[in-house]
Amino acid sequence: MSALDTSGMNANLGKVAVLMGGASAEREVSLMSGSGVLKALRAKGVDAHAFDPSERDLRDLQREGFARCFIALHGRFGEDGTVQGALELLGIPYTGSGVMASAISMDKVMTKRIWRFEGLPTPAWSQVHSAQETRAAFAQLGSPMIVKPAREGSSIGFAKVMRIDECEAAYALASKHDPQVLCEQFIAGDEVTCPVLGSTQEPRALPVIRIVAPDGNYDYQNKYFTDVTQYLVPANLPAGEEEAIAAMVCKAYSVLGCRGWARADVMIDAKTRKPYLLEINTSPGMTGHSLVPMSAKAAGISYEDLCVLLLQNTALDARASA
């Protein structure tokens, strides 16, 4: 894929708020993402300012004349449609998906229901509300089984259950973060991720990245705070697989109504080579370990150019052409 057209980047984008921090369990990661975005935008001559919604009134955005927002928030109250809804009311365009697509994409169960309805492959699952229901899901889905909060990211509250006597602890961990808990069939094989840019109708996939984590354990620590995980781009998958995954991820993005950007995570069954969609992130990380910048770089788009490109495509639901 050739580099995207990033001409005109130094056009007047007005006063820009980089929303970072927030009140979710991913606050620490969001601060890292936001700091990187802020530095990149300023390097490109953008009048960008840090803004932490957990410490300031969002109405200050309007009072202080901000023209648009770059959402570098992750998780609840930032990626789930709540901030997007507030910005809609304030009339301030923002990066990424609108209210409905953000809310649905944050909820892994709702996302999987839509994907399944649209004929897209996703691992079998069960939504549970107790340790007893978790044990019943284990009997149905088999070992290993993944247990995680339905509305969290960054592998927070995630557990891989090998035996039925581990179900209670796994449920307790996940339910600490969300009363809605998802049990999911484990797919053994290659783990890949694919970012998408563009409108709902015309999504463009960036290069697929294959993730090789120690013992297959791509957890919170290995995502953000170690250098032991390998990220392979090009992914060096068998012929045709990367193209098929890119097409599948673009459809997954479109059927949810996403716009601006997102990143979908996929597991490829080692035996059948069938890809399965796990989840989609509508406000992906922008840290030094993050995957969207890595994929963009492979497509010839620098971190700074990517930030400005996303900012140029801010929108409001009421005005979005997508």
Q: How confident is the model at residue 25 (pLDDT cuts 50, 70, 90)?
A: confident
Q: Is 5 a domain residue?
A: no
Q: What is the rounded CA–CA span in Å between residue 116 and residue 134?
A: 22
Pick the catalytic residue: 33, 105, 281, 290?
281
Confirm whether 150 is domain-assigned.
Answer: yes
**At what angle are helices 241-255 and 108-117 packed, to 10 degrees?**
110
The single residue of 94, 171, 218, 224 carrying the catalytic annotation is: 224
- H/E/C letters for each residue in the chain? CCCCCCCCCCCCCCEEEEECCCCCCCHHHHHHHHHHHHHHHHHCCCEEEEECCCCCCCHHHHHCCCCEEEECCCCCCCCCCHHHHHHHHHCCCECCCCHHHHHHHHCHHHHHHHHHHCCCCCCCEEEECCHHHHHHHHHHHCCCEEEEECCCCCCCCCEEECCHHHHHHHHHHHHCCCCCEEEEECCCEEEEEEEEEECCCCEEECCCEEEECHHHCCCHHHHHCCCCCEEECCCCCCCCHHHHHHHHHHHHHHHCCCCEEEEEEEEEECCCCCEEEEEEECCCCCCCCCHHHHHHHHCCCCHHHHHHHHHHCCECCCCCCC
| pLDDT given for residue 3 in this prediction | 45
Residue bearing the bigger pLDDT, 218 or 57: 57
Of the residues 44, 77, 95, the one at which a domain ends: 95
Instruction: Give 167-199 pLDDT, tens digit per residue.
Output: 999 999 999 999 999 999 999 999 999 999 999
With respect to residue 237, please indicate whether it lies within any of the assigned structural domains.
yes
Residues 209 and 298 in one domain: yes
Asked if residue 223 has pLDDT above 60, the reply is: no
Residues 174 and 294 in one domain: no
Same domain, 306 and 191: yes
Q: Verify that 165 and 20 share a domain, yes or no.
A: no
Residue 195: strand pairing partners: 263
Percent of the chain with pLDDT over 90: 84
Q: Is 263 labeled as catalytic in the residue annotation?
A: yes
Q: Are 191 and 263 in the same domain? A: yes
71 and 147 both lie in a single domain: no
Q: Taking 70 as the threshold, does the pLDDT of residue 48 lie above it?
A: yes
Greater model confidence, 12 or 48: 48
Give backbone dihedrals phi and psi of 297, rounded to 5 degrees, phi first.
Answer: -60, -40
**Cβ neighbour number for residue 197 with a 10 Å cutoff:** 24
| Cα gap 297→266, rounded to integer Å | 20
- What CATH number did the domain enclosing 44 receive? 3.40.50.20
The verdict on whether 285 is a catalytic residue reads yes
Which CATH number is 216's domain given?
A: 3.30.470.20
The catalytic residue among 21, 75, 189, 285 is 285
> For this structure, is 154 an active site residue?
yes
> Quick check: is 26 catalytic?
yes
Same-domain status, 283 and 296? yes
Last residue of a domain, one of 51, 77, 95: 95
What range defines the domain where residue 53 resides?
Answer: 15-95
**Residue 266 class from Cβ within 10 Å (0-12 exposed, 13-18 middle, 19+ buried)?**
buried
Q: Are 210 and 81 found together in one domain?
A: no
**217 Cβ contact list (under 8 Å, min separation 6):** none
* Per-residue confidence band for 228, with pLDDT thresholds at 50, 70 and 90: confident
- Position 1 in a domain: no
Residue 215 burial (CB count, 10 A): 6
- 22 a catalytic residue: no
With respect to residue 153, please indicate whether it lies within any of the assigned structural domains. Answer: yes
Tell me the C-alpha distance between 93 and 317, whole Å. Answer: 9
The total of structural domains in the chain comes to 3
In angstroms, rounded to a whole number, what is the distance separating the alpha carbons of residues 84 and 59? 13
Domain CATH code at residue 165? 3.30.1490.20
Average pLDDT of every residue of the chain: 92
Q: Are residues 139 and 193 in the same domain?
A: no
In a domain, 263, yes or no: yes
Mean pLDDT across 51-58 = 97
pLDDT tens digits, one per residue of 100-147? 999 999 999 999 999 999 999 999 999 999 999 999 999 999 999 999
Q: Are 193 and 253 in contact (CB under 8 A)?
A: no
Can you give the pLDDT at residue 322? 40
Is residue 168 assigned to a domain?
A: yes
β partners of residue 51 = 19
Residue 230 has pLDDT above 50, yes or no: yes
User: Do 74 and 150 share a domain, yes or no?
Assistant: no
Asked if 220 and 301 sit in the same domain, the reply is: yes
Q: Which of 21, 22, 26, 151 is catalytic?
A: 26
Same domain, yes or no: 210 and 164 = no
The verdict on pTM exceeding 0.85 is yes
Out of 164, 185, 206, pick the residue that ends a domain.
Answer: 185
Note the pLDDT tens digit of each residue in 252-292: 999 999 999 999 999 999 999 999 999 999 999 999 889 99
Determine the pLDDT at residue 7: 42
User: Which among 152, 279, 304, 305 is annotated as catalytic?
Assistant: 279
User: Is 281 tagged catalytic?
Assistant: yes
Domain-located, residue 284: yes
